Structure 1
Amino acid sequence: MVQESSFGTTPSVADVLHERYAGRLPGALEDLTGPEHGRVELPLHIVWSGLRTYDLDRPRQRMGLYRTVLAEGQRADITHFLNRSLLLAQWPLMRTMISRHVREAWETAFPELEHQASAAA
């Protein structure tokens, strides 16, 4: 949706957020080659306060890492820290815990995520 203003047309907040997250997406889910196990430390440009080291073998910490990287990571971070198999396995629950803008960008680009969520329901 585009809004008129005294300065011309202005994209809606939803459009801006969708473009922000869509611009960070990998080319394919197969590009997500991050680790499946062990401890991962996120850099400061992704998480600037609080927990920075996550244990992928602990489901809550793994979910926290994925939510953080999806929201704050750039494309290189996403492909480096996220793993295709783990993302697919967690998606049915995780999609309810992330912003609508992140969820829509990912499910629009990768319909298999939405199918994964439907199959788990």
Structure 2
Amino acid sequence: MDLPLHLAWSGLHTFDLDDDKLLLGMYRIVLTTGLRDDYIQFLDGNLLTSHWPRLRKMVGRGVRTAWEGAFPRLRPHTGQAAA
């Protein structure tokens, strides 16, 4: 996958999505610097959900809070009922 210059303006811009490390790096870039159209074009909901436990540690609190607020299935399961 090749990211456009407005996302990958410094460093690596081509990502092998079969490599988890590169996939996570690309998703981090898109999540932190992308716009709505970028999310639609470059993110896959199933991949995002399956990798979210690791990705949530790679993005800032604001990004994490926004995504988990918009998509409840991304919220970590603590085993406790919400108050």
Q: Give TM-score scaled by structure 2 length.
A: 0.90
Once residues 85 and 62 of structure 1 are traced to their aligned partners in structure 2, the CA distance between those partners, rounded to angstroms, is: 13
Give the equivalent residue in structure 2 for 1:23.
none
Higher RCO (C-alpha under 8 Å, 6+ residues apart): 1
Give the strand-richer structure, 1 or 2: 1
> Which structure has the larger Rg over C-alpha atoms?
1
Letter of the 1:91 counterpart = W
Aligned with 1:52 (options 13, 17, 23): 13
Give the equivalent residue in structure 1 for 2:46.
85
**Residues paired across the two proteins, number:** 78
* Percentage of pairs with the same residue: 49
Once residues 64 and 50 of structure 1 are traced to their aligned partners in structure 2, the CA distance between those partners, rounded to angstroms, is: 11
Unaligned 5+ residue runs, structure 2? 79-83
Alignment of 1:5-24 (within 5 A): none
Structure 1 residues 61-98: Cα deviation after superposition (integer angstroms, max 9, x where no partner): 00000000001111001110000110000001110111
Q: Give TM-score scaled by structure 1 length.
A: 0.62
Moved over 6 A (4+): none
Once residues 58 and 6 of structure 2 are traced to their aligned partners in structure 1, the CA distance between those partners, rounded to angstroms, is: 22
Give the equivalent residue in structure 1 for 2:66.
105
Give the equivalent residue in structure 2 for 1:118.
77
